[in-house]
Every structure is written in C-alpha cells, then in structure tokens.
Structure 1
Amino acid sequence: MSIDRSTNLTYRNIGQSLEVYPHIRGGREENQTTLSKADRDSNLDLPVIGSLVYRKSSAAIEAGDCYSYRKHGNTVGAHIPLRDYCDMARSILVLYSQHIVAKGSTHTPAVSLTHAGGHARTPSEKHRTLGDRVVVQRPHDVPLPYLLYRGCLIFPLSQLVHPAYIYIFREEKNDGQTKTHEERKRGMVMPWSVFWQVLLLLCCLSLDSLGSGVEHATDNSTIVTGLEDDGTCKCKEISVGKMSCQATCMAPPSTDNTNISVLEIRSSTLVGLRVGTLSAWTSLKAITIEDNYHLVEIEPGTFRGMNLVTNLSISSNINLSYLSEGVFEGLDSLVTLQLKKNNFSAFQSFVAALSPKYLPWLRKLILNENPLQRVEVEDLAALNGSLLEDLHLVSCQLEYVQPESLNTLTHLRALYLGLNTLNVSLLAGLIGELTTSGIPLRILNLYSVGLQSSIPENLLNAIADSDITHLSLARNQFQSLRPGSFPIMPHLLHLDLREIVAINFPQGILNGTVAPNLTTLLFGGNRLPGIVPGILLPHLQSLDLSSNSGDSRDRSYFDLGEGMFVNMTSLSYLNLSYNYVRTISRKTFKGLTNLDKALSLKNATIVHIEPYSFSELENLQFLNLEDNIFPSFINLTSSLFKGLMNLKVLLLGGCGIPSLSKDPNVFSPLARLEYLGLERNLLVTLSPQLFSPLPNLLGVDLSTNLIVPWKDEEERVFKNVSTSLQVFMQDNKLTYISPAMIEDFLDVELIKLSGNPFTCDCRYFYRTKLWLGVSNLSLTSLRTTQSSLKCYSPDKWREKPLLEYLDKLDLEETICRFVINPDSDSIFAWIITPIVILMIFLLVFLILGYKYRSYIRYWVFLANVNMRRHGFKARRKIQEGYSNYQYDAFVSYSNEDRNFVVRLVAMLENYEPFLKLCVYERDFEIGSVISESILQSVAMSRRIVLIVSDAFVRSQWCMWELQLAGNKKMFLEGGEKRRLSLRGREDPLVLVRLGQVADTHMTPFLKYLLKTRVYLEWDHEPKRQRQFWDRLRTTLSPPSISISPGPTN
C-alpha cells in the first residue's frame, strides 16, 4: 500500500479502516474493513521521523480553542489545542509501536528529508524503542520552521521537503516538568488527506464540547463535569450509586462522591487511560469500559489504589489489542474480569497483565469473541499460581489448543469452549490431560463446536473418565440417538442436549445404569413428537422439553398424553413452553406431586384447560401460562386453580383475557400468591373482590391493558390488600385519577402509572382537585415517580406534568362551573350537545352533497321524468321546429372507435343537411366534470346516436350514456295522455352497429333495443356505405314538429 498515493490510509489499531471519519458515521463494525495479513504488513511503510518542537510551558489553553490552518510567509502548519493533540499524537505513536512489536520487528523505513518529490527512504536512520513506543532519531541538520500561536502547538509542514505529507509532533511532560531537549525530538508524519480528516474530526469534537461546564440534574440524577487536559466530560448518575460517562467523554472527571460504586464508560472518545485518570474514584466496586471505539491504550498503574473493585469489564473496544504488564496493578480484590470482543489476537498481548502478582483473587476470566486462534503450551504460563476457576473462550476462532496449555490453571473448575471449531481428538486429549494433571474440572461447555452425525466415542470416554459433572453439547448435530451412545458416566449431574436436531429419544440411552446421578436434562429445541417414555427418567429433578414443535411457520402437535409423568416423583422443574399443546386435561400432570420449583407452559398454544387440571400440583410455587391466547369461551374460574395452595408466582400475561368479572373469586385458591402477572391483556374493569383473597400479594402487573378509571368508593380495587403491594398500571386507558383511585393508591407501597392518556381538562379533574383540597393531600403523596404522570391532551398541556396542571387548575372557570353545578350540567347536556351534533350532521350533509352533486342532479332528472310520465307535473310545451336544441344528435361511442366517429362527424356536418353533432372530445368544456357534461349534452341534443361495438359494451361510461338515452326516451314518450309526434317516429335513439358484439357483454336493455329497434349496420362495401350515410342523414335531419298537448290535471 503506497501511502503517498493513498486517500484512505488504513491503520492497524485506530480503526479497521480510517475512511472519511468512521468516528462520525458511527464506526459500526459491519462498516469496517478487516485487513488481511498482507495489508497489515504493508502498513509498516508509515514513515516516522523526529525533530524539534517548542511550546511555552506557561501558556494558557482555552476551552474554546478550535483548530485552524495558518500560513506565515513560506511556512505552512496547523495548530491544535494541546489537550486534544496529546491524545491524538499519543494514539498514533502508540498504535504503530504496538503493531511493530506484535510483528516482532523494530525496523521501519523513514522518509528522507530531501527536495525529492518521490517517496525516498533513508535506511541509515536509526530506531530505538522506549517502553511500548517506537521513537525515531535523525540528524538535526534539517531545519523545520515552527510557529507559536496562543500557547498551542504548531505542527509544521516542511518547506519543499515532501509536499504530500504533514509532520506532527507532541511534547511529553513528566510530573509537570518539561523533558529535556533531546527527549522532545519525537513526532510522526502522515499524508495530507489523512491529516485533514483528523483535523476536521477534532474540530467537530471541540465544537461539541463548548458550552456551560455544569448541567442541572433532573429526576434525582447527578451530572458531574470536569475539565481535564483531554477535554470536558459529563457523567450522569443513572441510578443509585451508578455513574455513566458517554459520548464525547475523553476522561472521567474528578469527584468527591463516595456513594458511587459503579462506573460505566461507554461509547466515548476515550483514546487512552492514563495513570491518575481514575484516582478520584476510590469507592468503586465495579467498572465497565465498553464500546469505546478509539481506546487503544491503558497505562500501567491506571487502577492503582482501587482495591475495592471486584468486577471489571473492558469489552467491545475493537481497537484495544495490547495490555501491558502492570495494567491491573491495584485491583487486589478483583474477582471477575471480562475482556470480551476486543482485538487480542494472541495471549502474549495481554496475559502478563493477568499475573496473580496483580490479580491475586481473580476467579473468573471471560475472553469471548477475541480472535485468539491458538492456545500454545506457554501462553498461560503467566497465570501460574492463579486462583482462576472459570475460563471462557467462547467464539475465539480457536483451531488448536495444546493439551498441556491449561495445566498451569490448577484451580480450573469451568471451561467454556463453545462456538469454536476444534478437532474431536484434540478435545479428547485436552480432557484426558486435565484429568491426568489433577485439574478439578467440573463444567465443560462444548456448545456448537461442529460435532455432527453421532456423539464421538473417544470424547465421551474421556469425559466419563474425568470428574466432569456438567456437560453441554448443545447446538451440535446428533439427529439419531440410540442405546449405547453414552458410556457409563457416574459423575454426570447436568446434561445439555438442546438444539441437536434430534427426532427421537429411545429408552435405555440414559437409564439408571448409564447416568445414575443425572438430575438435569435439557432437551429443548429438538423435534420430539411429544412426551416419549425414553426421556422420562425417574431420577430426574429438572427436565426441559421446550420448543419441540418447530418454529411458528412449521409447528407440529406436541402430545402430552395422560398419566405420562406418574413415575417422575423426583421432578421439581418442568419446562414445556413453545410447544403446540392445545389441551390440558385433569390427568396430564398426574404423579407430579413433588413438582415444586416451576411449571412453564408459555406460548404453548393452549386453547382448553379442564377444571382441576393442576389439582395434583400442591407443592408448585411458579406457574407460567403467558402468551396463550385463550379463546373467549374459556372462563377463568376458581376451579381452574384448585390445588395450587402453595403457588407464589402466577404469570397470565398476553393471554387475551377480556374480563375477570365472571368469577370475582377466581384467585381465591391461591392464598399464598405473592406475584400476579396480568399484563398485555384486554382487561377494562377490575372487580373490587379480585385481590381480596390474596393477603400475601406483593406485586401485580396490570400494564398494557384497557383499564379505565373507577369512580366510587364501592369500586375500590385495592381496598383490602397488603400495604407492601406494588402495582404496575402503565399504558392503560386511565384518562384521570378519581378520589377513589387516590385512596386505593395511598394504600399500596408503589404505583406505576406512566403511559396513560391523562386528559388535563376540568371536566375530569375538578372533583379530584376538590377532594385533594378537602383531604389536605396532593398527588405528591402517591408513591410513584411524579415525572411519569404527564398530560396527554389537550395539546396545550401535552407532555406537561399532571401535577403542574392540578396546581394551575382554576375551579372558577366557566367550563368548571358548568360541570360543578347540576343545572349547568343539564344545560350542557341537553342544549349544547344536541346543537353540536346537529352542526356536525349538517356539515357532513353539505360535504356529501357537494361531492356527489352530479349524481344528485341525475336523480332529480329521473324524478322529473317519472313525475311527468304519471301526470304529477305539467309538461312544458315544445315549440315547433328544433330551435330549443343546441345539437342535432349526441354521439355516444368508445375511444377504440374514434376513427369511425371522426369520419361520421365529417360526413354528417360537411354535407347537407349540415347537421350539428355533440362529440365529447370536441364539445365538452375543459375542466368540467364528465358526468355533468354528459347530462347537459344529452339534454341539449335532439337525438342520441349510439355507436354499438364490442368496445362500447365494455365501457362503463358508454353504458351510463345508454342508460341516460333510455331515460330520455321514456321522458319523450310521456304517458298515455300525452304524445309527441316526431315525423311519425317517437324514439330519440339511433343505433349504429359497428362489427360483431359479444352477447356476454351486452346488458338486457341493449339486447332489448337491438331486438325491437331498426338499427343501421356499418359495412365495408362502398356501395352499402353510401346507402348507410344516406339513411343516417335522413334519420337525423331536422323534423317538422307538431305539438298536441294532452289535458292536464
């Protein structure tokens, strides 16, 4: 990778790919480019040089300093405030030194400071290593100009040296003292394209940090701010004793709050953790440093003096690839250390920091999702003497584990190797070596390690010979299990066979001889057809058969049978969730008299439960029936829960329960119930007797229902409950809080009401306001989070605190007087309400009348026709001639017959008797409504010419025009008392048939016309065409009209 031509310089540790600001676009892992080995090696081409830089030690650094590009004479450079540059330069120097050390090389070519325009190198330059940094020395005979501006470092671009690069330097300090002239000759070079990216990024961060140094806390939280050399950091106390630092935080501030026991640093711009950064946080017991994209270094001694910390997580920092020895100095009490999802590619890059010299009480080490690949024999030698018991190496891309590599962990009890692809023989050898060495391994997790077809015999024999009691083989593939698959395993207590794609479990696989001490069997996520005899081992205490019906797209019936558990007298835990069970009968759980810990039937598609189905489960303490959409015909009655006298937890969330009023004492058999989950149902009202039979109830979840307010004292729901009860009623339909509700809520320990659509209107809260005043109470008396009580409507109060509305509520407002005074209430109910309703109906009528005005005109036209035909309305006299018509004929046709109509218009209008036709393409007014134009044109035309073709009968508009023509025909025919003589013909319709017409498309009226009327038919023969035009002109020629009006009533 030639960096003098690169516009996208790829770094090893400061981001998998430093494109145009991966920090600004989010730095998502999927958007990053993982370098190949060749690419990583090629990055060693980055030149590093040394030169002299100067800064006044007494210069003040202002918080608002931004970054700029300046020119003075022939000297060009950039200035960046020292507090930001130090971390930038430090990270750049450190990352390349770590890369070189990791590769085992200390030689890096450098740029020659000559006038050459190419990328010349000087192999004679010497390199030296200081700690974990690589610093390059070079002769001092090349002058590099510098600028001094507002006490900030100036980073010069050399004159005529290498125009493609900018040279960046930093000045190190030691205990406040400036280092010697010789030690300050450190710096580096980067391409201009990369420099501008870094410069713009820093400027964005600087602008983001401007503003007040202190923010006021809300909701009893605390915000701590401080100005360090690295910039401003804001940390918020998100819960009692827990502080969180995020976003632009570059170092936690100092604090004197000794109540903080947990510190989180997440998604920050932190580049490195230095000695003293956490010195003020001496009361911490847990530290989380996660998702910090820029973090590349943690200095030894950073945690010095933090001897109370027992849990430390440094995870998901994808550019952290090295931990120096002594990094964890001071963590004398650390028990659990998480180093998940960093960028450690070898144990040598961090294992020295885990020495028992620094972590004497370390018991649990989690290294999941680091690309370690191999575990060699000496990789864990630094842990010799450690008390480490749990080692997690899940998803570490392990391909090889030296059998002797774990012998130094003499206290190892749990080994997790899941999601690695390891050779079976290698695993067997590892287990055998640990057994031979006397390592007290008890838990082995081989989750999804690529085992297929059948369980490997040599691996199981090695496990059988060891003292392993807990074995996980989940998510491997053993479709067919048969007797003899497992050797005799006398120590095995817990076996996990979930999601192994098994379709059977024959008898004899794990009988009392093979696994005599087995107490827990996890067999969920397979495809058993139901409860099979082979899996019902009498000595089992815990059995998981969940998710054996497949996914929701391909679910199969899971047969529970009747009396299948009669011999399972030792069973105390049973999980049947996510199966297609449908029905539970009285004999389903027969024999489970000792089932006491839990029975889970969550999302089991239960549609019917017989009464007394749980009557034998007298010792059961936990019952989960969540997410079974009970049909409406299932009535929850007390008989359903008979026998559950010791039940403490009942979960009925998401069951579609519309009401519990059919049996107010439905929970009466559950006298010892402590928690009841009724969330995500369809409950609207609650019976006052519902919770009375539950004196030990400590919590009830009624959230996400449709519960409405209750008004009266007789409707109180929590009147006879324990004072320790906690009630969760979020996201219901509570539009107000009545006095009866307040009395209920005062009797419980905690009430949650957020997410309810409170209507901040006098009509809903005036009685509450009056009652609170008389009782000398306030909503602050409720044991709830006041900030969660917010108005939902009207808009002017939306999202404002309900307490604020009640404080400002004026009971003397007009609307309040209407509501308070019964007479005013009657006026409001009997006068204003009908007027409003009438106005709404009138408005709707006007809108519909305007929208359908053309149809209304048509209906009026038909009504007039009918009234004239029956003599209810006098007919206007029609004058002789045809001066009262605008057109001789209206032509109705389909667009597919347009060519014929064009010819027809030309033949009838250009030759005697020079008729005037109405054609919609020519005569309809532009912008007018089509239906209105058709009505007007038909009314103004003496005759109607129908061009009947197959396209005509398929057109909806043509059919409507045909209906109009029929109506006009009936209108002109009149009744028996009136006749209109039109040259001996009374019919205004003229039919012209154009080609064949399919009978299936014709309406009955059109068929009638064609059978009872003489019509013209177009022919392609010229002689017949002349006859056609003559007959059509004669038919449409102006008539001599005589009117003989009939007698009128």
Structure 2
Amino acid sequence: MAEIAARMETSLSTLICFSFTWVHILTFQRPNCFQCDQHRFCNCSSQNFLQLPAVPENVITLDVSFNQIESVEKKDLSLYTQLEILNMQKNRLKMIHEDAFRSQHNLVALDLSSNNLERIASSWFRELKSLKHLDLLGNLYTTLGSSSLFRYLGSLRTLKFGNLLLKKVKKNVLRGLPQLDEMIFVGRNLSSYEPGSFKMPRPIITVSLSFDGLFQENSSLVSNILRDVSHPETSLTVRDAVLSTNESMQPFKEVRQGGTKRLTLQNVSTTDEAVTTFLKVMDGSPLAYIGLEDVQLEGKGWWEKAWETHYESLHTVFIRNVEIQGFFQFSSMVQLAFLLKYPSAVSVINCTVFVMPCGTSALLKNIEYLDLSQNLLTDVTIRETLCNGEGKMHHLSALNVSYNSLKTLDLIPHMVTRLTNLTFLDISHNDFLTMPQKCAWPASLRFLNLSATKLRRATPCLPVSLTVLDLSQNDLTVFRLNLPNLVELRISGNRLVHFPEGGTLPSLSTLLIKKNTFNMFNKTDLMSFANLHYLEAGLNNFVCSCEFVAFFDDEVDHLVMLRDGRDNYVCDSPFVLRGHSVASAQLSVFECHMIPAVSILCSTIVLVLVLVGVTCRKLHVLWYLQMTAAWIRAKQKPAVHRARENLRYDAFVSYSQRDAEWVEEILVPKLESSQPPFALCLHRRDFRPGRWIVDNIIESIERSHRTLFVLSEHFVTSEWCRYELDFSHFRIVDEHDDSAVLVLLEPIAKETIPKRFCKLRKLMNSRTYLEWPQEEERREEFWCNLQAALKMEDS
C-alpha cells in the first residue's frame, strides 16, 4: 500500500509540474505580428512589444523598431532564414545572445542603433557573411576595438558606430573590413584614440565624423583621426562641431596633407576669424568641393587676410541653410573675390538671400552653374543679381532661381537673353500667374522649368529651342503649342480636359500628364505623336467605357511604355467600377456591344415567339385559351332560372355551316311542322344582330330545353361548334341535367376525334346518340326517337 501511495504521489507531482509548465508557456507565449505585405515586409514597429514577436517564417524585411524589447534570445530569430533586413532601433536592448543571428545567413542590413547595449560582441556577427550595412550608433558601450569586432563581416559596406559615452577607440576596430565604403562615427566625448585605428588599406569613399567640442578641447586627438581618414578619394564630412578659434582650425592641416578633394562642414558654428584661419590652413590644397550646411556664422564678413590663398582646384561651392548673425552689419561678398573667381558651380540655397549685387556676380568669372533657390529674390533684386541683363556671367549654362518671390514672367527673358550659353533655367515655384505672348530667350536654352507658378495659360512665349519643358502643378486647361524640338513634356497636376495634340510636337518621346482632369485617351491620341515612347498618364478621372478598357488592355502597351505602372490608371466612373484599376475592369456584353447584343436578343425573342406560336397552333393552345376566357365570361354572367316560363326554345341546334343544307331543308321543316311543332333556335335565323356572338350562343343555350348537336366531320373542324359544345357541357355539369342530344349525321370514329375535343369524346362515351340512317325505311323511326328526345317533360 505504501508503494502504491508513493507512486500516486509521484504521478500527482508530475501532473502538477506539467500543469504549471503549460500555464507558464501559455502565459509567456510570444506575441504575434502578421502585419506583412505582399513583399514579405512585416511592420511591427511602435506596438509596445516586450520581446521579438512571432512573424511568418518567410519574412524578408522585419521592422520591430520603437518597441520595448530588452533582449534577443537564441531562438527568437532561428526560424527566419530568409530574413534580409532587420530594424531594431529605438528599443531597450541590453542583451543579445551570442547565437541569436546564427540562422541569418541572408541578412544584408542590421540596425541596432539607439538601444542600451553596453558591449558589442564579435560572436553576434559570426554567421552574417552577407551583411553589408550595420548601424550601432547611440548605444552605451564606452570602448571599441579591444578585439576584432567585425572580423567576420568581410562583405560590410556601411558601418555606423559611436555614441555620446564612447571614450576609447583602439587600433584594431576596423580590422577585417576590406570593402568598407561608408563610415559614420560619433565621438563627441572621445578621450583616447590610438593612431591608425581608422586607417584602411583601401580608402573609405564616404566618411562622416561628429566631434562637437573636441576641436577646442582635444585638437590633437581630432588631428589623429583626420590624418587616418583623409585621402584624395574620400569624401569627408565634419558634423556637429564648434569652429570658433584659430586653434580649432588647426586639425584641418591633416585634411590638406591627406589630399582630400571633397569636404563638407555640417551643423557647425564658426566666426570670421576661424574662416580666415581655415582658408589659410587649407591654402594650396587640392580641394575641389566644399560644402557648408546648417552653419551659424558670427562676424561681418571680413576675410581680406586670406586674399593671398590659392584654390585653383576649387570648382564647386555648396551652401545651404547658413545663418549669419548680425546680417545687417555684414559686408558684401567682395571680400571673397580671391575665392569666387575659381568655382564653376555655386549653390546658395535657403540662406535668406534677397539680392546678390552685380559686383559680386561679376566676380564669378568661371561660373557655369548658379543655384539661388529657396531665397527671397524679387523682380527688383533679380535685376541687380543678373546685372540688368548685361550677360556678365558669360559661361553660365544652368540657372536656378526657384522658390523665390518672382512675379513677372516677361522680366526673366530680358534678364537672361544675353546669357548665350544658358541651356538650363529653373524658375519654378514662383508666382507668375500669366505668360506674355512673345518673349526673347537665348537660342541655347534647352530645359525650362515653369512648374508650380500658377500659370493659367501657355502662350508662344515659350522658346521653340526647348527639348525639355516642365509645366506641371499649374492651372492649365489646354496645351496647344508648336514646339518642334521638344523631347520631354511634363504637364502633370494641371486641369487639362483633353489629351495634347501630337502634331505640334513631332519630336516628343516622353509625356508626363498625370493628375489632370481628362477622362480617357485612345489610339488616335497616341498615334498623333510620331515618336512617343514613354507615357505617365495615371491618376486621372478615367471613364471606364468599353472602348477605353479594351484599348487599355489590348493596345496601349504596344504603343507606349507606361512608366508610372498600370496600377495608377484607376476608374472614376461608372460608379460600380470606381476605385478599380482600368486593367481589372470587367464590363458586361450589353455595355460593350449594345447594338449587336440587342439585335441578337430581339432576334432570339422573335424566334422564340415564332416557335411558341407554331407550338401553340400545333397544340391548339390558343383555342384552349379562348375557351377558358369564354367559360370565365359565362361563369360571370348571372344565373338564369331554368323554370319552364324562362325557356323559349325546345332546342338549340348546333351544326356546322357545311351541314346547313341538311339542317335547314330536312331537320328544321320536319320538326317545326310536326304535331305538336318544335321551336328550334338556329344561329343564322334567331341570333340577335349586333351582339357578341358568344353572348348569343350562351343566351340561346340557356333559353333552350335541349341542345341538339348535329355531328359530322365538318362539326369537328368548326370553331363555333366547339364553343356551343363546351357551353352545353358547362350547363350539363353545372345543372346535372340531360340537355344534350347528339345526332350523328355520318359515321365518325372516336379515335379520329382530336384530343382537344375531350368533351365530345366524353359525351359520346356517356350518352346514347342518334344516327341518321341512310335507308329510307328507317328514317321514320329516327324522327320518332328524335322527337321523343326533344320533347319537354310535363311538370
């Protein structure tokens, strides 16, 4: 018993443990996220997940950013062997199992930025042979390079690392990355850097460094880093820095000595003094491109101390979002005359420039590309900027003054007409409203951008030399201009109600006409263009008629290439198809082929009616209907009292007109001359004229004591005889009397009587009938029997 009790106790304990384990599994089951599209991209971001959710096993792109995930366990990703992109930024990651990415052999991009990782383990990357992009920015690690962290990532092309807590970078941090193309490093509080840590056998193509105050606090450390990354083939960006003193500019000596040709300063603060020092430090460098983005400048623009510097290699100056403190005390750009004579491309974007004096414009002796977009130029100041149309920028080929405050379009041609090399002009996003009828443009102009300028009408002001014209986002309702050289026309976002005519655009090969108000186009419209190859005409209010749908399905792809894809062509009407793509629209046969369909339908109906008529005639359906109607009419008449005083005739004689000779010359004289005489009702003699014949039949039968049927082959084929027979039968059935008397004038086989003569068959089967004898000696007996049958009984 004790042994049995012990076993039971063991089993119960096992059951309890299993129950608790199952409850634990159910309680801590991984959440699901099946918000995946047809491209196998699962968007699971911003859903407050505490651990990696379960997703379809065939997922390719998984985004679990902006959640509360703290760890990645060994089996969390084991099923997703096809995963190529994994975004885990902005979580609370503290721990990643060393085998967490073991099954991700196809992973190409991994983003672990902005988490709480205190260390980076090389074991994470052991199986990531295909990884090309890795982002480790914004974590909590303080040291990098104690081991070869990335030695397994031989295919890595982009590396982003560093944070505000990083203190040390050791020499072997980039070891094992032979193909690195881009590096972004944040080391604002870096205190230790081993020289050579960022030195690569193959120069990195793009390097971005964020140093903040290190230029002032530890310029030697910055110099060591710049020395390692500066190279003629490297595009260098220095971000988030304060460059306000002479000392802070000294590290750029390494940039000059390294032969860097492209340098960008982004989100920096500087002064006149620092700029002068920078120009001196970089004097004679091979610098070809310098970019200034999001820069704050304190000073009055006095840089004359750098006049003797030389920048013969400089060809591009890119300036965007520069804020000048004390702008109204700022001197003209004449102070940079020594520098402005070199570049061939200058961009000054979104810098609140309201005028560039003609004296400054004249200094741009080699300028070919000038971008003054997103500034405050007006009709007045553009005159000064372009020197009143004197054409002093002789080499200028591209001018961009979009997103300014220009209002008079006919002013622009006067300002550029002497720029004989001008081929590109962008004056979009201004407020012109109207276009003059005639304008004088430089003959070299090929590209003109007039988009979003609120134009209501296009006129012959447009130059015929154009090969590319952009008139999109205006208020045009029609476009009819002769531009023989135009190759590309962009006219999307207007209010065009008709497709442009191709005859005036013989060279056009690309037409962009999306987001207008026309509702269809056809083969004729496209064939009117002699050289049209590419078309973007989606997002219009298409009427999905049969002709348009058929044309779109069968012919449009043979005429042009739809660059915007067939899915952008959506039906606006009819209502049942609204929102459906034209390619998937289904229309009925009656909608698409109404005349043939109606013709076939009508022909079918006529054929059916003919067949029904033939069938009815063959089956005598009409006769049955007529009899039914007559019977109903008879039933609706008020009943007639059958008392003797209401009877007018002894018999109503029903016979065929072809038997009239026998009836009128033999039957009637015999019966009406007998003693006593019989009162007979004959239709030819006794029917009241002007009344409906059926009413006469009904009344005659009802006012007769008997109905005498003279049967013959002629009787069977007589319609009125049938009526009279049927009404008599109604009377027999309704009154249960013996009013019908049958006289067989000639032998009739019952089998030959048509089936529709069902009442005659019934009467012949249920009643004795008299036969007209051919022998003379038997006729007296016939008359006696007939008189007896017709005789009224006494009351």
Quick one: distance in 2 between partners of 1:289 and 1:745?
48
Per the TM alignment, residue 601 of structure 1 is displaced from its structure 2 partner at its CA by: 1.5
Per the TM alignment, residue 643 of structure 1 is displaced from its structure 2 partner at its CA by: 3.4
1:599 to 399, 409, 419: 399
2:189 to 395, 399, 403: 399
1:644 equivalenced with 2:444 (yes/no): yes
Q: How does 1:820-831 map to 2 (within 5 A)?
A: none
1:623 to 411, 425, 444: 425
| C-alpha contact 2:103 2:127 (8 A) present in aligned 1 | yes
Closer, same or farther: CA 279–291 of 1 in aligned 2, 3 Å: same
| C-alpha contact 1:453 1:480 (8 A) present in aligned 2 | no
TM-score by length of 2: 0.58
| C-alpha contact 2:143 2:169 (8 A) present in aligned 1 | no
| C-alpha contact 2:533 2:560 (8 A) present in aligned 1 | no
Deviations for 1:622-655, whole angstroms, at most 9, x for unmatched residues? Answer: 43322112142x4275523x2334x4x4432211
Residue in 2 aligned with 1:371? 163
Give 3-state SS (helix, strand or coil) of 1:449's partner.
strand
Quick one: distance in 2 between partners of 1:578 and 1:519?
22
Q: Which amino acid aligns with 2:192?
A: Q
Q: How does 1:883-894 map to 2 (within 5 A)?
A: none
1:423 equivalenced with 2:214 (yes/no): yes
Q: Which amino acid aligns with 2:513?
A: M
1:705 to 494, 501, 509: 494
Q: Which amino acid aligns with 1:359?
A: L
Q: How does 1:139-150 map to 2 (within 5 A)?
A: 146=16, 148=18
Residue in 1 aligned with 2:637? none
1:755 to 539, 561, 572: 539
Quick one: distance in 1 between partners of 2:16 and 2:392?
89
Q: Which amino acid aligns with 1:791?
A: C
Closer, same or farther: CA 432–484 of 1 in aligned 2, 3 Å: same
Q: Which amino acid aligns with 1:684?
A: T
1:788 to 568, 571, 576: 568
Per the TM alignment, residue 277 of structure 1 is displaced from its structure 2 partner at its CA by: 4.9
Closer, same or farther: CA 500–317 of 1 in aligned 2, 3 Å: closer
Quick one: distance in 2 between partners of 1:796 and 1:402?
70
Closer, same or farther: CA 245–811 of 1 in aligned 2, 3 Å: closer
Deviations for 1:491-535, whole angstroms, at most 9, x for unmatched residues? Answer: 251333342235643453654525454333333323467972233
Q: Which amino acid aligns with 2:429?
A: D
Deviations for 1:163-200, whole angstroms, at most 9, x for unmatched residues? Answer: xxxxx58xxxxxxxxxxxxxxxxxxxxxxxxx96x56x
Residue in 1 aligned with 2:241? 449
Aligned Cα RMSD in Å? 4.8
Give 3-state SS (helix, strand or coil) of 1:799's partner.
coil
| C-alpha contact 2:144 2:173 (8 A) present in aligned 1 | no
Per the TM alignment, residue 568 of structure 1 is displaced from its structure 2 partner at its CA by: 2.7
Per the TM alignment, residue 731 of structure 1 is displaced from its structure 2 partner at its CA by: 1.6
Residue in 2 aligned with 1:339? 135
Quick one: distance in 1 between partners of 2:593 and 2:343?
72
Q: Which amino acid aligns with 1:628?
A: N
Give 3-state SS (helix, strand or coil) of 1:676's partner.
strand
Give 3-state SS (helix, strand or coil) of 1:656's partner.
coil
Q: How does 1:369-518 map to 2 (within 5 A)?
A: 371-378=163-170, 380-384=171-175, 386-387=177-178, 392-393=183-184, 396=186, 398-404=188-194, 406-407=196-197, 409-411=199-201, 420-434=211-225, 440=231, 443-452=235-244, 456-460=248-252, 467-480=259-272, 484-486=276-278, 487-489=280-282, 490-491=284-285, 493=287, 494-498=289-293, 499-502=295-298, 504-506=300-302, 508=304, 510-511=306-307, 513=309, 515-518=311-314
1:581 equivalenced with 2:403 (yes/no): no
Q: Which amino acid aligns with 1:661?
A: T
Give 3-state SS (helix, strand or coil) of 2:518's partner.
coil
Closer, same or farther: CA 676–600 of 1 in aligned 2, 3 Å: same
Quick one: distance in 1 between partners of 2:362 and 2:220?
42
| C-alpha contact 1:431 1:466 (8 A) present in aligned 2 | no
| C-alpha contact 1:654 1:678 (8 A) present in aligned 2 | yes
Residue in 2 aligned with 1:686? 479
Residue in 2 aligned with 1:885? none
Closer, same or farther: CA 397–466 of 1 in aligned 2, 3 Å: closer
Q: How does 1:38-49 map to 2 (within 5 A)?
A: none
Q: Which amino acid aligns with 1:752?
A: E
Q: How does 1:149-228 map to 2 (within 5 A)?
A: 154-155=21-22, 202=31, 205=32
Give 3-state SS (helix, strand or coil) of 2:349's partner.
coil
Closer, same or farther: CA 662–457 of 1 in aligned 2, 3 Å: closer
Quick one: distance in 2 between partners of 1:811 and 1:436?
75
Specify the structure having the higher radius of gyration (Cα).
2
Q: How many residues are paired up?
A: 553
Give 3-state SS (helix, strand or coil) of 1:472's partner.
strand
Per the TM alignment, residue 683 of structure 1 is displaced from its structure 2 partner at its CA by: 1.3
1:265 equivalenced with 2:62 (yes/no): yes
Quick one: distance in 2 between partners of 1:767 and 1:573?
49
1:735 to 493, 515, 519: 519
Residue in 2 aligned with 1:798? 578
Q: How does 1:603-1002 map to 2 (within 5 A)?
A: 603-608=403-408, 609-620=411-422, 622-632=424-434, 634-635=435-436, 637=438, 639-640=440-441, 642-645=442-445, 647=446, 649-663=447-461, 666-670=462-466, 673=467, 675-687=468-480, 689-690=482-483, 692-694=484-486, 697=487, 699-710=488-499, 716-717=501-502, 720-722=505-507, 725-737=509-521, 740-743=524-527, 748-760=532-544, 765=545, 777=555, 783-784=561-562, 785-803=565-583, 807-808=587-588, 810=591
Closer, same or farther: CA 662–75 of 1 in aligned 2, 3 Å: farther
The structure with the greater share of residues assigned to helix is 2
Give 3-state SS (helix, strand or coil) of 1:501's partner.
strand
Per the TM alignment, residue 703 of structure 1 is displaced from its structure 2 partner at its CA by: 1.8
Closer, same or farther: CA 500–510 of 1 in aligned 2, 3 Å: farther
| C-alpha contact 1:407 1:437 (8 A) present in aligned 2 | yes
Residue in 2 aligned with 1:359? 153
Q: Which amino acid aligns with 1:398?
A: R
Per the TM alignment, residue 799 of structure 1 is displaced from its structure 2 partner at its CA by: 1.2
Residue in 2 aligned with 1:105? none
Residue in 1 aligned with 2:721? none
Closer, same or farther: CA 593–361 of 1 in aligned 2, 3 Å: farther
Residue in 2 aligned with 1:532? 333
Residue in 1 aligned with 2:49? none
Q: Which amino acid aligns with 2:480?
A: S
Quick one: distance in 1 between partners of 2:308 and 2:86?
46
Per the TM alignment, residue 482 of structure 1 is displaced from its structure 2 partner at its CA by: 8.2
Per the TM alignment, residue 685 of structure 1 is displaced from its structure 2 partner at its CA by: 0.7
Residue in 1 aligned with 2:697? none
Per the TM alignment, residue 398 of structure 1 is displaced from its structure 2 partner at its CA by: 2.7
Give 3-state SS (helix, strand or coil) of 2:122's partner.
coil
Residue in 2 aligned with 1:572? 368
Residue in 2 aligned with 1:1010? none
| C-alpha contact 2:502 2:530 (8 A) present in aligned 1 | no
Q: How does 1:173-322 map to 2 (within 5 A)?
A: 202=31, 205=32, 236-237=38-39, 244-247=41-44, 250=54, 253=57, 263-267=60-64, 277=79, 279=81, 287=85, 289=87, 297=96, 299-300=98-99, 302=101, 312-316=109-113, 318=115
Runs (5+) with no aligned partner, structure 1: 1-72, 77-142, 157-167, 170-194, 210-232, 238-242, 256-262, 550-556, 818-1049
Per the TM alignment, residue 387 of structure 1 is displaced from its structure 2 partner at its CA by: 3.6
Give 3-state SS (helix, strand or coil) of 1:359's partner.
coil
Q: Which amino acid aligns with 1:428?
A: S
Closer, same or farther: CA 721–500 of 1 in aligned 2, 3 Å: farther
Deviations for 1:369-417, whole angstroms, at most 9, x for unmatched residues? Answer: x635224143x534346447666445x4731242425536344657856
Q: Which amino acid aligns with 1:400?
A: L
Closer, same or farther: CA 778–252 of 1 in aligned 2, 3 Å: same
1:324 equivalenced with 2:121 (yes/no): yes
Quick one: distance in 2 between partners of 1:579 and 1:700?
27
Q: Which amino acid aligns with 1:535?
A: L
Q: Which amino acid aligns with 1:409?
A: K
Q: Which amino acid aligns with 1:478?
A: T
Quick one: distance in 1 between partners of 2:548 and 2:104?
56
Per the TM alignment, residue 706 of structure 1 is displaced from its structure 2 partner at its CA by: 0.9
